[in-house]
Amino acid sequence: MSSSIMDRLADQGSGPVLGAEGYVFELERRGYIKAGPFVPEVVLDYPDAVRELHREFLRAGADVMVALTYYAHREKLRDVGREGDLEAMNRAAVRIAREVAAEGGALVAGNVCNTWAYDPDDPATRQTVRAMYAEQLGWAVEEGVDFVISETNDYLGEALIAVEVIRDLGLPAMVTLAPTQPDQTRDGYGYVEACRILAAEGAQIVGLNCDRGPLTMLPLVAGIREAVDCAIAVQPVPYRTDATAPTMETLRSADGERAFPIALDSFTCTRFEMAQFAAQARELGVDYVGICCGAGPHHVRAMAEALGREVPASKYSPSMDLHPMFRADLAAKDAAFLTSWSA
């Protein structure tokens, strides 16, 4: 892999950069993160679990190891009584990501996200947010990251604070918006306009992440691609959102119960649907194709293979022709079972 994110993006022969996120949801499913606060305490409590998930994403073809510092900011750690672990958690997350990235030549991204502290009507919160980003990213730079991802931004104003902090640190910035609203950020900017502003302010990569599945996120992509000259990133959640329920937060079970955030299982996209998304995103000119909350390594491998890559985990990609019931030389004694399987 190239030595910088900008070199990698410029290498047209390699195709899109493949990202893999969703660490918080996946580690919650594995029993290492508490749903609700979703604070990545696992970084300090069970670092091997984080290391293993990074490794699984790396084997599946991810080009970037994202330090697990999503929700590892002062506001969230205060909620769970671990504000004193703030620096240790952020530094450890980068170290773990760097360790695994070195095993496969991947890049390492620092990470900040929406803080829940920003209020566009309260100027004082701007400095609060800036201070949180500055301390998190200051530690990330000291530990060694190649670029920074600022993601799940509900407000353009908060995203611009991240751009300022990242720019001051001299690192490339990938800044993506959370398309929770139908067509604009919470502070009233259309997604296309907001991406144009982010690019003009110095973000090298702009785009969307989280909230929407492929079906409802892809229609927003063409406008962004036409509006900016810089690289664009798209990282949907692997859930079957649609026109009726365009975001994972609006998905409902058959009895009308809210599925988000821990009852989304029945809405999960298959690996084939995520592979199709990756191919479609590439055709739309997306430079950084990824996946967000709900991702599993099998999704990432399928996306990598859809982009024409053979990755370490491809050794174990499905070979259904070797399945006892699907092989060409199906035994006569087994053939009868296919009738019941088709009922």
Q: Given CA atoms 49, 55, 59, 64 in this order, what sign does their dihedral have? A: positive
Within the chain, how many helices (H) and strands (E) appear? 15, 8
- pLDDT tens string 170-228: 999 999 999 999 999 999 999 999 999 999 999 999 999 999 999 999 999 999 999 99
- Band (pLDDT 50/70/90 cuts) for residue 343 is low
β-pairing verdict for 231-235 and 17-18: unpaired
As a residue count, the chain comes to: 343
Give the distance from CA 19 to its chain's centroid: 7
Cβ–Cβ under 8 Å, residues 147 and 107 = yes
Q: Could you please report the per-residue DSSP string of 143-187?
A: H--SEEEEEEES-HHHHHHHHHHHHHHT--EEEEE---SSSB-TT
Q: How far, CA to CA in Å, does 269 sit from each of 92, 244, 264, 286?
A: 32, 17, 10, 20
Report the predicted TM-score, pTM, of the whole model to 2 decimal places. 0.96
Residue 148: Cβ within 10 Å count: 29
